[in-house]
Amino acid sequence: MDMTTDTQVEVTDGFHLVIDALKLNGINTIFGLPGIPITDFTRKAQAEGIRVISFRHEQNDGNAAAIAGFLTQRPGICLTVSAPGFLNGLTALANATTNCFPMILISGSSEREIVDLQQGDYEEMDQLAIAKPLCKAAFRVLHAEDIGVAVARAIRAAVSGRPGGVYLDLPAKMFAQTMDGAAGKKSLIEVVDPAPRQIPSQEAVQRALELLKTAKRPLILLGKGAAYAQADANIRALIEETGIPYLPMSMAKGILPDTHEQSAAAARSFVLPGADVVLLIGARLNWLRSYGKGKTWGGKGHKDPGGQKFIQIDIWPQEMDSNVRIDAPLVGDIGSCVSALLAGIGSGWPKPPADWLGAIAERKDKNLAKMAETLAKNPTPMNFHSALNVVRDIIKANPDAILVNEGANALDFTRSIVDMYKPRKRLDVGTWGIMGIGMGFAVSAAVVTGESVIAIEGDSAFGFSGMEVETICRYNLPVCVVVFNNNGVYRGTDVNPAGGPDVAPTVFVKDARYDKLIEAFGGVGMHATNPAELRKGMEEAIRSRKPTLINAVIDETAGTESGRITSLNPQSAKKK
Ligand SMILES: Cc1ncc(C[n+]2csc(CCOP(=O)(O)OP(=O)(O)O)c2C)c(N)n1
Ligand SMILES: [Mg+2]
């Protein structure tokens, strides 16, 4: 790898030191997009055996890096050019930090002296300052001999404690700096124990167990932190040995199979207000859980607590009490906290009272029967339910496949209809409900795991990253994209209130053929107007592992505004 000079003294440089530092720490994939000043870096990285997956827009390789971090517990690497490329990657970095996905955004940057004097350099921007508030940590390397420390610090910041995004600023000049090869090698750091376990205090464990013991109507809530932790067997043992019903949040689906008899997902609106003690595992009490209070939790007004007592497992002490009082905070890594609880529970833990379990089972049976009835219908045109009945069967038959999901109705219906059977198989819009993660997540999941990927995409959602179908074809990835095409955002039926020639802001070209898009790059395009065609297309895609896009025509009247979060839309006080 090292360049050899005429005098046979081995020298190395910034390019190679960054590559060597990443490799030394087991990072063997980069998601990036070339250009000044990192084009040669992408070439050299590839030459040195790193897999460089090249994208069409930086937001997509940023999302790819973030979800690689979620899936592997190692920071995913996103590589961009300066200013505009950096900014394009920044949304993914901020989203990763919000969702606690470990990633490192590495951006090339322009000449410091010129940037700092604002003299108008090519792609001039003070990137470090801009990145700082949007990530866990941000570092700049001015000298090649500091690369080892910088990469080590970036890795630690990304994966230790609560994981998140890290920014690493590499000015153009630094790449070309040389140093003695042996000294360069010595300057690199192989990070020892990058995400140290954080053992909860015995006192905190006791407090949690004592509270749990008092529960008449206990409930466990699993968040995506629980999925990230890869403590699947112990989480399952805790749930099964206590007999406590549980609710999986979206990306926690599959830690236990959704068909598990203790899943209370089909009785959500009954168990949240009904529970008296709630154990949160890697789940925050943010908007997705109605802040732990209000009517959802049985409170009288929208800010009133429902009277539940909470035990919360989280690695970040400041998470506690962020919305309601946490009676038993259990601070530590999820694996350590769950095994401590498990040890404390022993063998004779009493099952929850039968009336609580019975009442849940009754609601669940009723709701599942209602759902089965709806799914069995076969309306024309196809609606979300009849299409998702197919997806549900396909995932059941292929439980190792990874499901990527975004949209509004296309998201909400998929989450509630499609059962997951294994952990970390459902990847979606996360805490922000962000559109645009689709193709980045799909490419990354296929590259990182080698499994088949099924991306269920609203037609609007797909548009944010749709050009990456070329990337999917270029790397010949086993990705089946299904566009739920209802002619627009939420539905395709809005009309322009002013009556002019422009269509309504939520409406797209009618009867668009998204399948033609992938055909342009040699992928398989299919057009499905009924469940049978959709099933045939998806089965064929899974069997062949060929890049596939199915344009699934969905009744344009079927969706609701914002899916399940209609109420978050502000209402105008002024009547027409
Ligand atoms: C980055 C970003 N921009 C805009 C939105 C607002 N938004 C939420 S869902 C959605 C698209 C919904 O339409 P579609 O994906 O077609 O799903 P459908 O409800 O029609 O099934 C949009 C634009 C968002 N969540 N994120
Ligand atoms: Mg739509």
pTM, to two decimals: 0.97
Q: Would the CA dihedral through 535, 536, 542, 547 be positive or negative? A: negative
Ligand 1 pocket: which of 460, 493, 509 to mutate (most atoms within 8 A of CB):
460
CB 394 within 8 A of CB 482: no
* pLDDT of amino acid 406: 98
Phi and psi at 247, nearest 5°, equal -120, 125
Cα 560 to middle of ligand 1, angstroms: 12
* pLDDT of amino acid 6: 53
Counting Cβ atoms within 10 Å, is residue 471 exposed (0-12), middle (13-18) or buried (19+)? buried
* pLDDT of amino acid 525: 98
CA distances from 33 to 71, 106, 192, 260, 450 (A): 22, 11, 30, 43, 22
* pLDDT of amino acid 347: 86
* pLDDT of amino acid 3: 54
Q: Quick one: tokens of 130?
A: 């801009």
* pLDDT of amino acid 445: 99
Q: Quick one: tokens of 282?
A: 């890697």
Which one of the ligands is nearest to 407 CA? 1
Q: Whole-angstrom Cα distance, residue 146 to residue 168?
A: 12
* Residue carrying structure tokens 């081995």: 10
Q: Quick one: tokens of 358?
A: 């019975």
Output the tens digit of pLDDT for each of the chain's 576 residues. 555 555 567 999 999 999 999 999 999 999 999 999 999 999 999 999 999 999 999 999 999 999 999 999 999 999 999 999 999 999 999 999 999 999 999 999 999 999 999 999 999 999 999 999 999 999 999 999 999 999 999 999 999 999 999 999 999 999 999 999 999 999 999 999 999 999 999 999 999 999 999 999 999 999 999 999 999 999 999 999 999 999 999 999 999 999 999 999 999 999 999 999 999 999 999 999 999 999 999 999 989 999 999 999 999 999 999 999 999 999 999 999 999 999 999 888 999 999 999 999 999 999 999 999 999 999 999 999 999 999 999 999 999 999 999 999 999 999 999 999 999 999 999 999 999 999 999 999 999 999 999 999 999 999 999 999 999 999 999 999 999 999 999 999 999 999 999 999 999 999 999 999 999 999 999 999 999 999 999 999 999 999 999 999 999 999 999 998 988 999 888 876
Cα 390 to middle of ligand 2, angstroms: 18
* pLDDT of amino acid 421: 98
Phi and psi at 250, nearest 5°, equal -50, -55
Atom of ligand 1 nearest to the CA of 429: 25
Ligand 1 pocket: which of 384, 489, 551 to mutate (most atoms within 8 A of CB):
489
Q: Whole-angstrom Cα distance, residue 152 to residue 156?
A: 6
The DSSP symbol for 418 reads S
* pLDDT of amino acid 574: 85
Q: Whose alpha carbon is nearest atom 20 of ligand 1? A: 490
* Residue list, ligand 1 pocket, CB within 6 Å: 407-410, 433-436, 458-461, 484, 486, 489-490, 559, 563
Ligand 1 pocket: which of 428, 459, 490, 557 to mutate (most atoms within 8 A of CB):
490
Closest CA to 340 of 211, 223, 201, 232: 201
SS3 assignment for 507-532: ECCCCCCCHHHHHCCCCEEEEECCHH
CB 246 within 8 A of CB 256: yes
CB 492 within 8 A of CB 501: no
Closest CA to 547 of 525, 514, 528: 525
CB 523 within 8 A of CB 469: yes
Atom of ligand 1 nearest to the CA of 464: 1
Q: Whole-angstrom Cα distance, residue 488 to residue 143?
A: 50
Q: Which one-letter amino acid corresponds to residue 217?
A: R
Cα 485 to middle of ligand 2, angstroms: 6
* pLDDT of amino acid 411: 98
